Structure formats: structure tokens, C-alpha cells
């Protein structure tokens, strides 16, 4: 067989073909047919495969060939690891999120779902709320932003943004957008916050902690 | 501040030409333990008082291959700039390494790899030691060293400084690479044609190339005006490659990228396994949480003080008993036979008998004990971790929370406390801390205050004197913090994890510091006691008392002889009271033996405060000079003397003694 897949479109959806006629769609991947094949060669291969698999005889009255060169990503081994790494890397730039066939599924429903999730995440990061009719944002339904200073003790949050003047000081301690943080305690008399950042513990003066915006993925325990 | 690297071991022939391996790592990654394992010596000369060495180097030979191993201070990035110091990379300039051995925490690669990347960017060969592998193991983290070394294009070793596992292998690799580079630099060998593939985004690599070209341009100009940072000179001397220089100049741009890369690589090379959180981590949470942490801190503080008093006190009694039974009689007869003039012989005995006894009965029991305790506390990681809870309190005095430790030690003896201010970090904090240390009554001064006031004015008055001294100390601390420029803004601080101290390391550290103390203090105690003996035996004190009378009598409202006692307390604080009694007996006859009959309680109070606050003793002064320089030492002494005189005069007037 040459074709990868086929859809009997007029059986699947009404009004795709006049009564008594059949609209069939065949998919051919580049692995099985050369890109140099002519339209006629592709039509011939498809017609032959429909005959072999479904017993459809005869010559089509209407044919259309659409070529989408390099359109569908072919994931290779390790794809999900790479996607995860890319997301981690992009935590640095919260205004950019990934969506599309290259990442988590090539099908239309997959792409639409990714697009909606991305839009919801961006809306959240820009301070608005996600479209109430849209799907749930992937990070959990009741995400909310606050400053590190206000974060209740014991609540796990991730760093969303850092005031520019503190970026470097926190960066050398390994804290940047995306770092998971939790306040372990607050020193008395307005002293520093003891914070678990990633796997380390750091003391963050309260003044600096005000410049760190964090996002909690769930409501703090009551 | 210029950093020096000096040879710790004797530099024999050929050693000058050895390849140099620099040891770089974040604080608390276990560098000193690693170095001890690599060189087979648990001697911490870097922290020994009496040297200006901030980085230490040791000749290390592994399998017949020798190189210098230079231990650089812990740093979070190559551009780190502690208060009042030049950026970290100036150490590289001083050390001129041929290869860098980067220590990273195997349990926290995401935070440690950026430093390794920064070292790799310098254009020097690097070897990465994934250290603390035992702690990582307990946290359920296993590092795929092979994969990490592919990513870094550098050898990666699992190491554990505590057991020594992997240390030799990592060091051997580093020495090999250092020797290779050195022979390349000498032109004996062709450089490797392969350069590691660029790891940063193209735009960043492009910026680095532009910067590198500029740096090469600076080299040809040879002008320092166009190279204010000194990076161009670093490149010109071949310490780092042009791209390496560019990476230093562009640290701020590279930080985020390196961090992102490190996070990604860490995720790729770590194998995680579910484990129960290690005991050390759970303890660390307890220690830093205010509810449990403050009581624990109070308990540790009190325990330290009690250990100092009990162990120190016990040892002091035993040693001074042994001294007077065994050594004093021998010294007396020997000196009497050798020195013909009786008065001079007695003065010599003041030095040899009294001075050495003071060393033996204060130095060994209190100071050595304190050093052992301090080293154990430091190595356990407890101090930086817990004291953060007290930060705010001490911030008012311009100090970090861990200043509690040296100040506490000061109540025993000021000398180790001033060495102890090393843990405060910045020079400003050390100056402020040392000033407060000198104002804190040490055990000798406490004894003087108690003995002068309790019998004649009652224990409550003695207590009140300590209250007044404390108030003076706090006031002076607040004022000094306001007056000395360069206030440090609060900083983000990494809290060290808790770990069991390595006993050999603790003992070596304590012993080295103690040796430093003996070298500093012993001559001063001897000379001071001798001078005191001379003045005493020759009767020269009488005209001196007259000269001091305007201050002693006019301002403080005290009899002239008290001035002598206060002045000579500079040489031996603990003798202030005995001196006063002896002088009183000479001046007033037998009645003088009872201080209460010649001084009113108000006058005794003034005497106690002035003795406590005024100029630190000679040993303390010498330590100040050695640790902070003559100018600072003079400033602190002048400040405390002024403070003592003002406070004494005011108190004398308030109490109606003058």
C-alpha cells in the first residue's frame, strides 16, 4: 500500500458529495511516495489502494491533490524529553509559550487544545483571566499570583517574574522564572525570609522578596 | 584589595614551573575537604592568622605527575564581587591556572552547573567533580557522569571529599589537562585543533565574538584607559582566551542563558528516585524555622558558652595549679641565679612566670577550646543557617546575625573573638564587629568588675555596672554603624546544609588558628609583663600617677593611683584590681588593702566602667593590628578610650564622685 490513511469524507460528514457519489480522501506520507511523484502517479496509487482495501472500482470523476511539504512533524525518540526541556528553557521568557503540531500532537484537536492552553497561560501571565468559555488552564484551575513576601509559609509556588534590579542577585543563587519556591519561615523583627528555592535554602531580605512575583498552582491549605 | 597567592609549602627547585590547577566552586560545596583529600594534608593554612594569604596553593603529585593546586575562595559566579573586594576573576589573574577543577554539588546541578559553564567559557580546560555524592545519594539523586561529560565536553567525576572517593581520579585528570595546556603555551606541543561546539544561541555567540575582537584590540593598544575592568590585560597575558575574556565582560548577559542550560542539562543527567528526606534536611528546616530555630539557637549559644566556661575553667585551674607547683619555683631559682640585680630579676620573673602563666591559663583552656567549638560549628553548617533568624537584630549594628557567635566568645576572651569576626564576611562588618568585641567585657574584666564592686557596693551594683557597660556597647555600636560609611544593603544569602563535621578537619583548623594566636600574643604578654614589672620594681609609677592626675582626679574624680591601675590594665587586664590594691597599700598603708576604705562605691563604679570599656588589652590590640591593620586598630582603641573617659566622667558627675 502507498496510502497512510483514508477518510470516506461524505460518509463521515453530510453534504460533502451529491447523493449517490462518494468523496474519499487518501493521505500519503513522504516515506512511501517520493516528493517527485506527479499528481497522476499519486492519484493512480490512491485509486489502486482504494480498490485493494475497500473494493472501490472505477475512475474518480473529480480529483484534487494537495501537497503539504514538511507539514507534518515526525517525532523521533526522545521527543517528549526535548519538549519538556524547551518548556523549561522558555520559563525565562514568560511572554512566550509553545503551541502547535511540532510539540504535543499533530492532529487538529491536539493543536487546538495546545492553542487554547497557550492562550490561557498568556492571558494569565498578562494579568487578565482566561476566557471563561475556554478550557481549563493546564497548570490547575485556581492559579493566582502574589509576591514572595506575601506567600504563606509552606505553600509551593513558582517564580513568575523578578524585578529587574534583583534579577542578577537571585540568578547567582539559582532563582529565576520557573524556579519552584516555598517559604519555610520568616525571621522575627522583619528579618529575612527563609526560602526553599529548588533544592537549596536561601535567606531573602524582605525588601527583595517584594520584587519577586510568584504563582501558586493551588489554594494554600486552610 | 589586592589578592595574593603565596606558596604554602617550601618552593624547591622546579616547583615554580609546575602546572597550576585552580579549584573553583560555590561556597559549601566542600572545597577545603576536597583539597585536604587531594593533597593528603588536613592543614588549613589559608585561615591561619598571621598570613595575608587569601588563596592557598599546594604542590600535589599523583602518579608521578605534579602540579600546584590552588584553592580559591568559594564563589557563586566568576564576576562575584564581595563588598570592598575586586571581582572573583582577579584571583584567576593571580593564580594563572592552566586548568580549572570545578566542584559542583551532585545533588543540585541546576544551581552549580552555571559556574562550571562559566569556567568552561574561559577557554581553559576544565574537569568537573560532582562532589557531595553521598548527600546526593541520600536525596535520591544519581548523576549520569558520562552524559554530563558529553554535554560539557569535559571529564566529569563522581567525588566525595569526606571519604576521598574519586578525588584522586578527578585531580589526576585536571593535572593532566593543566600540563598539556602548559606545554602548549610553552610551544612544546601544538594546540588542539578542535574547539568545543558553541552552546549558546547564535546571537549571544555573535556578541561574544564581537567582544572578543574588541579585547584583542585592547591588547594591541596596551592602554589601561580603554580597559578599566582589566579584562583586556587578562586576555593579553594569556590567562584566559579572548572569548573567555568576552564571557567575563558579558557575565550579566550570559547568566540567564547559563542558568537555563544548566536546568535543562541537569534534567537530562539526573536520575531521581523517591526517598525519605534525609535527616539533615529535616533538621535544617527545624533550625531555620523561627518557632523551633530561635530556641535551638539559644540552646546552642548557651551550650557553647557553658562548654567554654566549664572545659576552659577546669583546664585553667588544672594548668595554673600545675604551673605554680612545677614551673614557678624552678623559674624563680633559675632567674635568681642568672640575673644579678634583684629588682631586674623580679621584673624578668613578672614576664617569664606571670606572663607565661597567663598564656598557659588563658590561651590553652579558653582560646583553644573556643577554636575547636567554633570550627565544629562552622563545619557543621549550623552557624550561617541558624543565625539568619537574628539578622534583623544585628543589622541595626551593621552586622549579620552570625555576629552573635564572636560576641559571645568575647565574653570569654576578646582575642579569639576578633579572629572569629572572620565569619562576618565584609571588612566593614569585621571592623564594626571587632569594635563591639573590644567593648564586651572578657572574663578577666568581668572578674575585675565583680571583685571591685560586689564586696563594697553589693552584687546588685555589680550587675548594674554590666547593664551600663551593655548600654554603652549598644550605643557605641549604633553610632559606629551610622558613622562608618559603606552600609551594605541586605543580600540574598545561601544557607549551608547541615552536615557532620570531619573531626580531623576541625582539629586542624582549630590548631592552626591557635598557633596563630600564640605567635601573636605570646611576645606581647611577655614584653607587657616585663614592662609592668620594670615600672613596678623601679618605682617609676609614682611620677606617672602625678602626670595622669588631671584626668584621673580632675575628670574622673579618682585618687591618682587609680590612674596607674587603669593604664596598666592595658598590659594585663586581669591584674587591674591586684595592682590597685598593691598601690593602695603603698600609698595609704595597711588600710589600703581594703579598697572600700579608700574609694567610695561611686568611685569604684567609675573605676569598674572605665577599666571595662577603655582600650583593649595589649594582646587584643595586637590581634586587631594583625587582623584589620594598624589604622583600624588605632581607631578602635581611640574610640574605646574616648568612650571610657566620657562615660566615666559623666557617671562620676551623675553619682557625685567628681
* pLDDT tier for residue B4 given thresholds of 50, 70 and 90: very low
Average pLDDT over residues A147-169: 86
Q: Is the pLDDT of residue B591 over 70?
A: yes
* pLDDT tier for residue B15 given thresholds of 50, 70 and 90: low
Residue B256 distance to chain A (closest CA, Å): 7
Q: Give the mutation candidate from A200, A206, A207, A209 for the B interface (greatest B CB count, under 10 A).
A: A200
Inform me whether the C-beta atom of residue A92 falls under 8 Å from chain B C-beta atoms.
Answer: yes
The burial class, CB within 10 Å (0-12 / 13-18 / 19+), for B484 is middle
pLDDT given for residue B41 in this prediction: 66
* pLDDT tier for residue B249 given thresholds of 50, 70 and 90: confident
Q: Is the pLDDT of residue B490 over 70?
A: yes
- Cβ within 8 Å of residue A161, ≥6 positions away: A94, A177, A212, A213
B108, B391, B393 ranked by CB distance to A199: nearest? B108
Contacts of B285 in chain A (CB under 8 A): 184
Report the distance separating Cα B172 and Cα B240, nearest Å.
22
Report the distance separating Cα B165 and Cα A33, nearest Å.
57
Average pLDDT of the residues of chain B:
81
pLDDT given for residue B329 in this prediction: 86
pLDDT given for residue B365 in this prediction: 78
Residue A193 distance to chain B (closest CA, Å): 9
pLDDT given for residue A132 in this prediction: 41
pLDDT given for residue A51 in this prediction: 92
* pLDDT tier for residue B471 given thresholds of 50, 70 and 90: very high
Bridge partners (DSSP) of residue B215 are none
CB pairs A-B closer than 8 Å: 121
Average pLDDT over residues B132-146: 88
Q: Is the pLDDT of residue B87 over 90?
A: no
Report the distance separating Cα A218 and Cα B12, nearest Å.
66
Contacts of A198 in chain B (CB under 8 A): 108, 110-111
pLDDT given for residue B48 in this prediction: 32
Could you report the per-residue pLDDT of B516-566, keeping only the tens digit for each?
A: 777 777 787 788 788 878 887 887 778 888 888 888 888 888 888 888 888
ipTM: 0.72
Contacts of B268 in chain A (CB under 8 A): 81, 85
Question: Exposure pattern of A80-110 as b/e (b: 16+ CB <10 Å)?
Answer: eeeeebeebbbbeebeebebeebbbbeeeee
The structure's pTM equals 0.68
Contacts of B267 in chain A (CB under 8 A): 84-85, 88
pLDDT given for residue A137 in this prediction: 43
Report the distance separating Cα B238 and Cα B186, nearest Å.
12
Inform me whether the C-beta atom of residue A89 falls under 8 Å from chain B C-beta atoms.
Answer: yes
Which residue from B minimizes the CA distance to A205?
B490
Q: Give the mutation candidate from A181, A192, A204, A208 for the B interface (greatest B CB count, under 10 A).
A: A192
Residue B502 distance to chain A (closest CA, Å): 22
* CB within 8 Å: A168 and B285: no
B267, B293, B385 ranked by CB distance to A88: nearest? B267
Q: Is the pLDDT of residue A3 over 70?
A: yes
Inform me whether the C-beta atom of residue A138 falls under 8 Å from chain B C-beta atoms.
Answer: no
| CA-based torsion, B497, B500, B505, B511: positive or negative | positive
Contacts of B489 in chain A (CB under 8 A): 205, 207
Q: Is the pLDDT of residue B16 over 70?
A: no
Q: Is the pLDDT of residue B129 over 90?
A: yes
Would you tell me the crossing angle of helices B251-269 and A79-90 to the nearest 10 degrees? 150
* pLDDT tier for residue B212 given thresholds of 50, 70 and 90: confident
Contacts of B114 in chain A (CB under 8 A): 174
pLDDT given for residue B55 in this prediction: 56
Residue A203 distance to chain B (closest CA, Å): 5
* CB within 8 Å: B393 and A189: yes
* pLDDT tier for residue B316 given thresholds of 50, 70 and 90: confident
pLDDT given for residue B282 in this prediction: 85
Query: How many other β-carbons are positioned within 10 Å of the β-carbon of residue B223?
Result: 9
* CB within 8 Å: B492 and A202: yes
* CB within 8 Å: B490 and A200: no
The CA radius of gyration of chain A, in Å to the nearest whole number, is 27
Query: How many other β-carbons are positioned within 10 Å of the β-carbon of residue B342?
Result: 10
Ramachandran angles phi, psi of B555, nearest 5°:
-95, -45
pLDDT given for residue B657 in this prediction: 67
* pLDDT tier for residue B209 given thresholds of 50, 70 and 90: confident
Which residue from A minimizes the CA distance to B394?
A191
pLDDT given for residue A23 in this prediction: 94
* pLDDT tier for residue B502 given thresholds of 50, 70 and 90: confident
* pLDDT tier for residue B195 given thresholds of 50, 70 and 90: low
Residue B70 distance to chain A (closest CA, Å): 23
pLDDT given for residue A126 in this prediction: 67
Average pLDDT over residues B280-299: 85
Q: Is the pLDDT of residue B37 over 70?
A: yes
Is residue A130 helix, strand or coil? coil
Contact B33, B82 (CB under 8 A): no
Residue B483 distance to chain A (closest CA, Å): 23
- Cβ within 8 Å of residue B408, ≥6 positions away: B301, B304, B305
Contacts of A185 in chain B (CB under 8 A): 288-291, 293, 389
Average pLDDT over residues B635-657: 89
Inform me whether the C-beta atom of residue A169 falls under 8 Å from chain B C-beta atoms.
Answer: yes
Could you report the per-residue pLDDT of A115-137, keeping only the tens digit for each?
A: 887 887 777 666 544 444 444 44
Which residue from B minimizes the CA distance to A189?
B392
Q: Is the pLDDT of residue A63 over 90?
A: yes
Average pLDDT of the residues of chain A:
80
Q: Is the pLDDT of residue A83 over 70?
A: yes
pLDDT given for residue B568 in this prediction: 79
Contacts of A205 in chain B (CB under 8 A): 489-492
Grid coordinates in use for B432?
Answer: 564594626
* CB within 8 Å: B388 and A194: yes
* pLDDT tier for residue B222 given thresholds of 50, 70 and 90: low
Bridge partners (DSSP) of residue B66 are B61
Which residue from A minimizes the CA distance to B265?
A85
Does residue A161 or residue B404 have the better pLDDT? A161
What percentage of chain B has pLDDT greater than the value 90?
12
pLDDT given for residue B434 in this prediction: 93
Highest mean pLDDT among A182-196, B30-44, B99-113, B375-389: B99-113
Residue A184 distance to chain B (closest CA, Å): 6
Query: How many other β-carbons are positioned within 10 Å of the β-carbon of residue A126?
Result: 10
> Which residue is listed with cell 578610650?
B641
Does residue B511 or residue B188 have the better pLDDT? B511
Would you tell me the crossing angle of helices B459-483 and B601-613 to the nearest 10 degrees? 40
Q: Which residue in B119, B100, B88 sits closest to B1, CA to CA?
A: B88
B80, B290, B490 ranked by CB distance to A207: nearest? B490
pLDDT given for residue B49 in this prediction: 30
Grid coordinates in use for B430?
Answer: 569585621
Contacts of B77 in chain A (CB under 8 A): 172
Grid coordinates in use for B261?
Answer: 542550560
Average pLDDT over residues B198-222: 78
* CB within 8 Å: A185 and B291: yes
Contacts of A190 in chain B (CB under 8 A): 392
Task: Indicate the helix (H) or strand (E) that contains A201.
Answer: strand A200-204
Which residue from A minimizes the CA distance to B75?
A172
Contacts of A201 in chain B (CB under 8 A): 284, 288, 385, 494-495, 497
Highest mean pLDDT among A47-61, B423-437, B532-546: A47-61
Ramachandran angles phi, psi of B471, nearest 5°:
-60, -40
Q: Is the pLDDT of residue B128 over 90?
A: yes
CA distance from start to end of chain B? 48
* pLDDT tier for residue B193 given thresholds of 50, 70 and 90: very low
* pLDDT tier for residue A219 given thresholds of 50, 70 and 90: very low
- Cβ within 8 Å of residue B250, ≥6 positions away: B207, B208, B211
Contact A134, A120 (CB under 8 A): yes
Inform me whether the C-beta atom of residue A172 falls under 8 Å from chain B C-beta atoms.
Answer: yes
pLDDT given for residue B175 in this prediction: 93
A85, A92, A189 ranked by CB distance to B392: nearest? A189
Q: Is the pLDDT of residue A217 over 70?
A: no
Which residue from B minimizes the CA distance to A204?
B492
pLDDT given for residue B131 in this prediction: 92
B107, B260, B288 ranked by CB distance to A194: nearest? B288
pLDDT given for residue B147 in this prediction: 84
* pLDDT tier for residue B114 given thresholds of 50, 70 and 90: very high
The burial class, CB within 10 Å (0-12 / 13-18 / 19+), for A28 is buried
Contacts of A188 in chain B (CB under 8 A): 290, 294, 389, 392
B139, B256, B389 ranked by CB distance to A188: nearest? B389
pLDDT given for residue B264 in this prediction: 85
Q: Give the mutation candidate from B136, B141, B259 for the A interface (greatest A CB count, under 10 A).
A: B259
pLDDT given for residue B236 in this prediction: 78
pLDDT given for residue B227 in this prediction: 64
Q: Which residue in A105, A194, A104, A198 sits closest to A151, CA to CA?
A: A194
* pLDDT tier for residue B614 given thresholds of 50, 70 and 90: confident
In chain B, which residues touch A (CB < 8 A)?
Answer: 76-77, 80, 107-108, 110-111, 114, 139, 252, 255-256, 259-261, 263-264, 267-268, 284-285, 288-291, 293-294, 385, 388-393, 395, 401, 489-495, 497
Amino acid at each position: 500500500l502507498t496510502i497512510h490513511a483514508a477518510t470516506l469524507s461524505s460518509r463521515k460528514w453530510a453534504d460533502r458529495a451529491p447523493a449517490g457519489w462518494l468523496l474519499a480522501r487518501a493521505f500519503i506520507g513522504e516515506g512511501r511516495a517520493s516528493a517527485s511523484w506527479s499528481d497522476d502517479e499519486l492519484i493512480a496509487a490512491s485509486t489502486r489502494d482504494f480498490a485493494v482495501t475497500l473494493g472501490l472500482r472505477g475512475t474518480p470523476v473529480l480529483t484534487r491533490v494537495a501537497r503539504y511539504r514538511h507539514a507534518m512533524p515526525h517525532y523521533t525518540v526522545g521527543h517528549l524529553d526535548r519538549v519538556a526541556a524547551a518548556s523549561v528553557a522558555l520559563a525565562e521568557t514568560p511572554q512566550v509559550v509553545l503551541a502547535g503540531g511540532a510539540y504535543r500532537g499533530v492532529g487538529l484537536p491536539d493543536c487546538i487544545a495546545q492553542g487554547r492552553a497557550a492562550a490561557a497561560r498568556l492571558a494569565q501571565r498578562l494579568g487578565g483571566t482566561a476566557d471563561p468559555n475556554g478550557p481549563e488552564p493546564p497548570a490547575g484551575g485556581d492559579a493566582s499570583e502574589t509576591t514572595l513576601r506575601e506567600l504563606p509559609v509552606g505553600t509551593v509556588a513558582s517564580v513568575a517574574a523578578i524585578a529587574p534590579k534583583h534579577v542578577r542577585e537571585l540568578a547567582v543563587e539559582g532563582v529565576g522564572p520557573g524556579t519552584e519556591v516555598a517559604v519555610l519561615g520568616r525571621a522575627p523583627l522583619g528579618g529575612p525570609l527563609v526560602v526553599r528555592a529548588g533544592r537549596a535554602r536561601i535567606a531573602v531580605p524582605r525588601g527583595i522578596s517584594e520584587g519577586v512575583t510568584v504563582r501558586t498552582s493551588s489554594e494554600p491549605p486552610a | 584589595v589586592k589578592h595574593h597567592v603565596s606558596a604554602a609549602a617550601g618552593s624547591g627547585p622546579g616547583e615554580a614551573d609546575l602546572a597550576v590547577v585552580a579549584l573553583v566552586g560555590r561556597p559549601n560545596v566542600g572545597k577545603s575537604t576536597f583539597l585536604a583529600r587531594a593533597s593528603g594534608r588536613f592543614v588549613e593554612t589559608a585561615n591561619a592568622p598571621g598570613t595575608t594569604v587569601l588563596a592557598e596553593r599546594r604542590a600535589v603529585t599523583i602518579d608521578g605527575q605534579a602540579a600546584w593546586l590552588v584553592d580559591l575562595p568559594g564563589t557563586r559566579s566568576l564576576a562575584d564581587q564581595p563588598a570592598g573586594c575586586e571581582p572573583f576573576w582577579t584571583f584567576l589573574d593571580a593564580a594563572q591556572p592552566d586548568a580549572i577543577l570545578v566542584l559542583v554539588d551532585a545533588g543540585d546541578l541546576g544551581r552549580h552547573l552555571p559556574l562550571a559553564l562559566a569556567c568552561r567559557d574561559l577557554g581553559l580546560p576544565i574537569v568537573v567533580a560532582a562532589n557531595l555524592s553521598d548527600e546526593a545519594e541520600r536525596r535520591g539523586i544519581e548523576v549520569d557522569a558520562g552524559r554530563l561529560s558529553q554535554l560539557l565536553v569535559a571529564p566529569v567525576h563522581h567525588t566525595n571529599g569526606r571519604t576521598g572517593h574519586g578525588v584522586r581520579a578527578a585531580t589526576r585528570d585536571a593535572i593532566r589537562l593543566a600540563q598539556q595546556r602548559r606545554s602548549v603555551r610553552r610551544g612544546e606541543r601544538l594546540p588542539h585543533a578542535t574547539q568545543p561546539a558553541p552552546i549558546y544561541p547564535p546571537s549571544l555567540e555573535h556578541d561574544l565574538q564581537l567582544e572578543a575582537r574588541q579585547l584583542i584590540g585592547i591588547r594591541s593598544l596596551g592602554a589601561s584607559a580603554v580597559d578599566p575592568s582589566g579584562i583586556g590585560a587578562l586576555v593579553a597575558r594569556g590567562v584566559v582566551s579572548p572569548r573567555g575574556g568576552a564571557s567575563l565582560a558579558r557575565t550579566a548577559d550570559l547568566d540567564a542563558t547559563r542558568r537555563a542550560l544548566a536546568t535543562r542539562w541537569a534534567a537530562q543527567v539526573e536520575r531521581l528516585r523517591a526517598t525519605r528526606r534525609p535527616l539533615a534536611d529535616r533538621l535544617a528546616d527545624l533550625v531555620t524555622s523561627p518557632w523551633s530555630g530561635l530556641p535551638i539557637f539559644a540552646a546552642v549559644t548557651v551550650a557553647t558558652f557553658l562548654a567554654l566556661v566549664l572545659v576552659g575553667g577546669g583546664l585553667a585551674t588544672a594548668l595554673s595549679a600545675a604551673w605554680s607547683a612545677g614551673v614557678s619555683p624552678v623559674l624563680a631559682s633559675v632567674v635568681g641565679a642568672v640575673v644579678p640585680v634583684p629588682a631586674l630579676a623580679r621584673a624578668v620573673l613578672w614576664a617569664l612566670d606571670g606572663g607565661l602563666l597567663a598564656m598557659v591559663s588563658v590561651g590553652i583552656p579558653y582560646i583553644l577550646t573556643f577554636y575547636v567549638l567554633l570550627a565544629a560549628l562552622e563545619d557543621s553548617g549550623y552557624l550561617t543557617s541558624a543565625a539568619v533568624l537574628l539578622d534583623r537584630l544585628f543589622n541595626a549594628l551593621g552586622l549579620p546575625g552570625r555576629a552573635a557567635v564572636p560576641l559571645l566568645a568575647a565574653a570569654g576572651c576578646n582575642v579569639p573573638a576578633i579572629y572569629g569576626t572572620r565569619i562576618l564576611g565584609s571588612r566593614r562588618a569585621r571592623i564594626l564587629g571587632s569594635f563591639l568585641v573590644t567593648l564586651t567585657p572578657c572574663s578577666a574584666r568581668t572578674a575585675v568588675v565583680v571583685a571591685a564592686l560586689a564586696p563594697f557596693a553589693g552584687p546588685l551594683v555589680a550587675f548594674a555596672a554590666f547593664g551600663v557597660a551593655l548600654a554603652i556597647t549598644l550605643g557605641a555600636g549604633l553610632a559606629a554603624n551610622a558613622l562608618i560609611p559603606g552600609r551594605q544593603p541586605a543580600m540574598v544569602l545561601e544557607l549551608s546544609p547541615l552536615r557532620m563535621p570531619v573531626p580531623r578537619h576541625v582539629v586542624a583548623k582549630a590548631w592552626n588558628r591557635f598557633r596563630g594566636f600564640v605567635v601573636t600574643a605570646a611576645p606581647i604578654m611577655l614584653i607587657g609583663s616585663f614592662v609592668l614589672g620594670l615600672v613596678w620594681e623601679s618605682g617609676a609609677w609614682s611620677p606617672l600617677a602625678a602626670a595622669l592626675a588631671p584626668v584621673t582626679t580632675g575628670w574622673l574624680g579618682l585618687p591618682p593611683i587609680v590612674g596607674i591601675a587603669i593604664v596598666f590594665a592595658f598590659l594585663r587586664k586581669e591584674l587591674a584590681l591586684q595592682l590597685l590594691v598593691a598601690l593602695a597599700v603603698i600609698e595609704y598603708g595597711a588600710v589600703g588593702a581594703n579598697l572600700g576604705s579608700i574609694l567610695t562605691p561611686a568611685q569604684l563604679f567609675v573605676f569598674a566602667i572605665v577599666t571595662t570599656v577603655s582600650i583593649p588589652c595589649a594582646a587584643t590590640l595586637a590581634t586587631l593590628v594583625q587582623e584589620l591593620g594598624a589604622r583600624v586598630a588605632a581607631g578602635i582603641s581611640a574610640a574605646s578610650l574616648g568612650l571610657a573617659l566620657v562615660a566615666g566622667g559623666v557617671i562620676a558627675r551623675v553619682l557625685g564622685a567628681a
